[in-house]
Amino acid sequence: EPLMTGIYAGDADSLSIQATFPRFPEMERQAGSIVRALLGSWRRHRGEGPGGSPFVTLQGGLSEMVQALTARLGRLSVLAGYRVRAVRVSAPPRGYEVMIEGTAPLAADALVLATPAYDAASLIEPLDAELGALLRGIPYVSTAPDEAVLLRAYVGGAGRETVLERDDDVLVSLVRAELRDMMGVTEAPVLAKVYRWPRAMPQYLVGHLERLAAIDERLARWPGLFLTGAGYRGVGIPDCIGDGLATAERVRVYFDKGVSRAV
């Protein structure tokens, strides 16, 4: 439960093991239990590779990645801070028209939606109600200096969303009470910040892979329309990068058929 909550902010009884940890079922079949398989792997690979924490970040924060990718776009243009109101099908030959607040519509032969699944659903439902319903069925839940220690606490998650309706002071008091009971931390924090991220984490419930298959089948009816992002095949940064690259390859193949514009 702590592992699933920490990664997916979800309920371990509801999440799909095939969609979240696909290696675990095979490990259980081979070793008789997941714990035995993990211990065996740890013994075999003990001492290999660099030490330290497996969790790393960029020195200037993850925004550095976005800035670096933007800098490498070259002559390609980026419209940031604009809200997409709707997506329409263009007249034959089929393409797409993206309606944007505050600027002229964009015409494209291929369209990649890298939004949360529920935002993609809002744009697609007027075109394909069944595909929109499939996308909307992917649920989401709400995720120091040298002389100080930085602690991060997660509040909420699947089945506990209502706690986020409480005031910041109440949430800080709840976290401080738990830290006191679990870790003996009694000092008042120098700084306490509360960030609310409603519908931030997609939930890969049991049946998620079947839902993806149905989405792909329905999406095939809309040439040039593509979906990518954390809502489908992995919530981690490496998963999203991999899915983005795979989507870019599908767009390239689509372009090879003779189309020329993408958004």
CB atoms within 10 A of CB 199: 15
What's the confidence (pLDDT) of residue 260? 56
More confident residue, 156 or 230: 230
Highest mean pLDDT among 36-50, 51-65, 119-133: 119-133
Helices vs. strands in the chain: H and E counts, helices first: 10, 7
Which residues, in sequence order, are CB contacts of 226 under 8 Å at separation 6+? 110, 111, 112, 113, 219, 247, 250, 251
CB atoms within 10 A of CB 263: 19
Q: Indicate if the pLDDT at residue 55 is higher than 70.
A: no
What's the confidence (pLDDT) of residue 53? 58
Q: Is 200 exposed, middle or buried (0-12, 13-18, 19+ CB in 10 A)?
A: middle
* Residue 143's pLDDT band (cuts 50, 70, 90): very low
* φ, ψ at 226 (rounded to 5°): -130, 150
* Residue 49's pLDDT band (cuts 50, 70, 90): low
> Looking at the chain, how many residues does it have?
263
122 and 135 Cβ atoms separated by less than 8 Å: no
* Residue 132's pLDDT band (cuts 50, 70, 90): very high
Summarize pLDDT for 195-229 with one digit per residue, the tens: 887 777 888 899 999 999 999 999 999 999 999 99
Domains of the chain: 2-45 (1.10.3110.10), 63-140+201-255 (3.50.50.60), 144-183 (no CATH)
Q: Indicate if the pLDDT at residue 136 is higher than 80.
A: yes
Which residues, in sequence order, are CB contacts of 34 under 8 Å at separation 6+? 24, 27, 28
What's the confidence (pLDDT) of residue 5? 66
Highest mean pLDDT among 100-109, 162-171, 186-195: 100-109
Strand pairing of 225-227 and 111-113?
parallel
* Residue 87's pLDDT band (cuts 50, 70, 90): very high
Q: Which conformational region is residue 116 in: left (phi greater than 0), alpha (psi within -120 to 50 degrees), or beta? A: beta
Measured over all CA atoms, what is the biggest interatomic distance in the chain, rounded to whole angstroms? 68
Q: What does the pLDDT average to over 35-42? A: 80
Q: Is 159 exposed, middle or buried (0-12, 13-18, 19+ CB in 10 A)?
A: exposed
Summarize pLDDT for 182-203 with one digit per residue, the tens: 888 888 888 888 888 777 788 8
Structure tokens of 174? Answer: 């709840």
Nearest-Å Rg of the Cα atoms of the chain is 22
| Alpha-carbon torsion, ordered 120, 121, 122, 126, to 10 deg | 120
* Among 13-17, 27-31, 144-148, the least confident range: 144-148
* Among 29-33, 148-152, 156-160, 231-235, the least confident range: 156-160
